[in-house]
Amino acid sequence: MSMTTKETNPMAVAGPALVLLGLAVFPAVAPHFGLDYYTGFVMRMLIVMLIATSLNYLMGYGGMVALGHAGFVGVGAYALVAMTEAGVTNAWALWGGAMLAAAVAALLIGAVSLRTKGVYFIMITLAFAQMLYYLAVSLRVYGGDDGYNLYSRPVLGFGLDAADDATLYWVVLAVCAACFLFFHRSVGSRFGQALVGIRDNESRMMALGYPVFLLKLQAFVIAAAVAGLGGALMVTQNSFISPSSMHWSQSAVLIVIVVLGGLGHRWGGVIGAAVWVSLEETLRMSTEYWHWPLGALLITIILFAPEGLGALFHRSPAGKGEGRGGIFYLLRRSA
């Protein structure tokens, strides 16, 4: 549970740094290889990584399996749309406002939902997300079912041109990196340690005098705020949002991404989103039947590496005991 283990493996620091460097130079290099299209694709992937990481924080460290995370993504996206309609053009103000809107929604929804546990919690978060979905459908001013088109990208300021994909890409990368760092640091903080304690043994935490409900609510709100930011970034990139991105199946896909990448693994959301979004993209382009390989992958992962892809690289930092699953486990078992 404790995060005291020092990073002795240089790969643990060098790996992410290399990936970050690669991501940073990508938009500069891509045009030389005719890969311009992929700047937008990688940007979308980054945003999904951000949203998945926020869900991993909630599920993996907080032990709260929420099947309504896409609802908060939608709240952030629609908040940005509403503020744009009201005349706000500054991207930072819009993104901040989107986070705030998602946080307020999460505060209200969490205050009710966190009274329940387990499957009941899964279902009540689903219920609230569906309510948000139908609310979006009924908002005719923002396009209702058909969705809403943003006519111009928000203004970044600081001499940055949001209309340029590469510029926006770098800003998104910086925002995502900052959020990853926040989540990463947060796990070792007082709050993170209390959260993991609640995940592992809620009754004991209560008996130790922790305000368990409020701590869970704070985690719920933080995760939702970042999901809302993800939604806002998504609209900024696409200039489009529709209620379908709030549908429950989107929330299910987010859960799938987190489990695929490694629940409670530091890079779980990142790895899961990278694998899922890339596979979806390539499969969709190459075959009409692009669902079944994803289905087969999920079943395989659950049967043979239930701790997710992240655990194949190294041990879960959340320290969920002996790693049953993962490649080391498979090797040991077959040896």
Partner 1 sequence: MTLFSTRGLVKQFGSLRATDDVSIEVAPNEVHALIGPNGAGKSTLVNLISGMLPADGGSIVLDGVDLTGMPPHKRVRAGLSRCFQVTNLFKKATVLSNLMLAVQSHRGSSFLPLGRRDGEAELIERAVALAGRVGLGSELDRIAGSLPHGAQRQLDVALALAANPKLLLLDEPMAGMGPDESARMVELIQLLRRDMAILLIEHDMDAVFRLADRISVLVYGKVLASGNAEQIKSHPEVQAVYLGSEVEA
Partner 2 sequence: MDSIFIIEQLINGIGYGLMLFLLAAGLTLVFGVMDTMNLAHGTLFMFGAYIAATVHEASHSFLAAVLCGVLVTMLIGALLEVTLMRRLYKRNHLNQVVATFGVILLADDFVKWMWGASPIMASTPAALAGPVQLLPDLPYPSYRLLILVAGVVAALALYVVVNHTRLGMLVRAGASDRPMAELMGVRVQSVFTLVFVIGAALAGVAGALMGPLTSVQIGMGEGILIPALVVIVIGGIGSVRGSFVAAMLVGVVDTAGRAFVPPLLREVMAPALAADVGPALAGIAMYVLMAVVLCFKPGGLFPARG
The answer to whether 257 and 298 are in contact (CB under 8 A) is no
Among positions 15, 40, 96, 319, the unique one binding partner 1 when judged by CB under 8 A: 319
200 binds, among partner 1, partner 2, none (CB under 5 to 8 A by kind): partner 1
The answer to whether 73 and 245 are in contact (CB under 8 A) is yes
Among positions 161, 291, 328, 332, the unique one binding partner 2 when judged by CB under 8 A: 291
Nearer to partner 1, 130 or 193 (CB): 193
The CA distance from 30 to 43, in Å, is 13
Q: Does 303 bind partner 2 (CB under 8 A)?
A: yes
Using CB under 8 A as the binding criterion, the count of chain residues that bind partner 2 stands at 47
130 binds, among partner 2, partner 1, none (CB under 5 to 8 A by kind): partner 2
Q: Does 294 bind partner 2 (CB under 8 A)?
A: yes
Q: Report the half-sphere exposure of 22 (CA within 13 A, side-chain side).
A: 8
Expressed in angstroms, the distance from the first to the final Cα of the chain is 29
User: Segment 190-209, which members bind partner 1 (CB under 8 A)?
Assistant: 190-194, 197, 200-201, 203-209
Among positions 6, 140, 190, 333, the unique one binding partner 2 when judged by CB under 8 A: 140
Q: Does 134 bind partner 2 (CB under 8 A)?
A: yes
What are the b/e assignments for 198-217, b being 16+ CB within 10 Å?
bbeeeeebeeeebebeebbb
**Cα-Cα-Cα-Cα dihedral sign, residues 129, 135, 139, 145:** positive
Distance in Å, CB of 207 to partner 1, minimum:
6
Q: How would DSSP label each residue in 229-262?
A: HHHHHHHHHHSEE-GGGGSHHHHHHHHHHHHHH-
The CA distance from 106 to 104, in Å, is 5
**Residue 324: which H helix or E strand, with range?**
none
Using CB under 8 A as the binding criterion, the count of chain residues that bind partner 1 stands at 34
120 binds, among partner 2, partner 1, none (CB under 5 to 8 A by kind): partner 2
For the chain, the residue count is 335
Residue 153 to residues 11, 110, 143, 164, Cα–Cα distance (Å): 38, 32, 18, 10
Q: Give phi and psi for 262, each to the nearest 5.
A: 130, 105
334 binds, among partner 2, partner 1, none (CB under 5 to 8 A by kind): none
189 binds, among partner 1, partner 2, none (CB under 5 to 8 A by kind): partner 1
192 binds, among partner 1, partner 2, none (CB under 5 to 8 A by kind): partner 1
Question: Can you give the binding site for partner 2, defined by CB under 8 A?
Answer: 59, 65, 112, 115-120, 122-124, 126-128, 130-131, 134-135, 137-140, 144, 248-249, 252, 255-256, 259-260, 263, 288-292, 294-299, 301-303, 306
